[in-house]
Amino acid sequence: MKSNDIVQIALYLAALVVLTPPLGAFIARVLKGENRFSIRLLGWLERGLYRIAGVDPKEEMHWKIYLGAVLAFNALGFLALFALHLLQGTLPGNPQNLPGVSWHLAFNTAVSFMTNTNWQAYAGEVTLSYLTQMVGLTVQNFVSAATAICVMLALVKGLVRASARTVGNFWADLVRSTVYILLPLSVVFTVLLVGQGVVQTFSSYPEVKTLEGTVQSIAVGPAASQIAIKQLGTNGGGFFNANSAHPLENPTPVANFLEMLAILLLPAALTYTYGKLIGSRRHGWVIFATMLVLLLAGLSVSLYSEYQAAPTLGATANLEGKETRFGISNSVLWSVATTSASSGSVNAMHSSLTPAAGGVALFNMMLGEIIFGGVGCGLYGMVLFIMLTVFLAGLLVGRTPEYLGKKVEAKDIQLVIVGIVAPSVVMLVLAGISAVVKPGLSSLANAGPHGLSEILYAFASAAGNNGSAFAGLNANTPYYNVLLGLTMLVGRFAVLIPVMAIAGTMVVKRLSPPSPGTFSTSSTLFVVLLLGVILIVGALTFLPALSLGPVIEHLLMATGSTY
């Protein structure tokens, strides 16, 4: 590892830390309706959307009504995207005359983008038309991320309001998150990416003559606009099949840095936003620090593993599958960042990572969306672990557990456990079934522990709403398209629904003033306790599966054995 690699990683982490407060403060003002400049600039769009939809933004909702609006909006988004995939062969905006896709791929992709997973069992440039990419996928990139911000905001209102009944207005929260946060940032990033050479055109694919004298069709399209929101919204779905390893999607080191930074930019900023909204910036920094420690731990293990010599590699560093334009360190940093968020974008082949580095990527997703995680999702996922930690700490000292001045009771913890355990259960159960049935095994490219890792990675990616692929597994089959689609639904809504219910149980409670015996959630001690709970829950849940996959593969690699 060279000094240049260390400098690039340090710059990345420094940029993340430095940009978190100003962006987080901006988001807080937007969500509270206090950003006057944004309102002057784009208020006409917000008001126009309310008039078209017939929505009164001041009308507050009970948590059940809010949840019903979330589910109805997502269901409509799924149906529209599903139909668009099936009918794209008869619709305009299709200069390559691509046909409609199969029902099971349409189901998988519609669920994937509706749940902010962006798992892709297809090659975008040869499967989807410009219309499907823009009107279908790009729109869902915006609203799926905005939906998670809305749920996060509803949870915040449930925690800070006392003896209340409502948690806000979903339609107002959705419009503000999209119009004032995601849209302007995406426009800025689109311009920056186009300036770096990312393609943005509506022309049909040009044909060029290669040096060998053959004619090659070059896939192009309106890529930059989709890539901007794919990264900022922690979506991850690439315009091209190679995702951010494609030279027209990620052409320069500057573009690589910007895209990689965008993955964690909003999830990190939202920790500061959370602190501002609850009236404790220190607690927001505690959450940020916990996430950063987990990120750095995974990055350290991955870098150490990738730069170590191994008998099976025959070299001092693992260059296979890496993005040679940017080097090993940038490929490893991207793999850790994208699996720490729910992004799923890649600039290298994750299946070619060393077993330890691949295991880190797998473990990041298995923990759920808590190491920064998705936009909004990462924060409310971490709050579930915070409430569990507060509850356990309260039991240890014999005090009634409290979080932000409200009692954490048995019903709250039951909902917390559902949100933490449900994605893990469906992930491990379906991966286990797929490891023994013919439809699951027929798609594998590798045997032994690496083959098991391929299956585990697919279901962990789906359950964690991540979307990245280990590769080597052909997921475009009826079996995997349906099962992974169902896993994505559980991964999204088995967490979202309990979070909304927690918002509902918390909003009606009274606030208790702090006392000398109140357990502080803004201290270094709490960071240590929170990390302990996260790692213990993760270790107990996933250690057996990880032992059969990347752990045993790493031990075998050290002896010179491969599969």
Give 215's strand partners. 209
The full DSSP string for 25-69 is: HHHHHHHTT--HHHHHHHHHHHHHHHHHHT--TT---BHHHHHHH
Distance CA 470, CA 408 (A): 39
- Position 35: which residue type? N
What is the model's pTM? Answer: 0.93
Residue with tokens 């593969």: 553
pLDDT in tens, the chain (563 residues): 788 889 999 999 999 999 999 999 999 999 988 888 888 888 899 999 999 989 999 999 999 999 999 999 999 999 999 999 999 989 988 888 889 899 999 999 999 999 998 888 887 778 888 888 888 888 999 999 999 999 999 999 999 998 899 999 999 999 999 999 999 999 999 999 999 999 998 888 888 888 888 888 888 888 888 899 999 998 887 778 888 888 888 999 999 999 999 999 999 999 999 999 999 999 999 999 999 999 999 999 999 988 886 666 666 677 777 878 888 899 999 999 999 998 888 888 888 888 899 999 999 999 888 899 889 999 999 999 999 999 998 887 777 788 988 899 999 999 999 999 999 999 999 999 999 999 988 888 788 888 889 999 999 999 999 888 887 788 889 999 999 999 999 999 999 999 999 999 999 999 887 776 677 888 899 999 999 999 988 778 898 899 888 889 888 887 777 66
Domain boundaries, the chain: 20-281, 284-558
Residues 6+ apart with CB under 8 A from 525: none
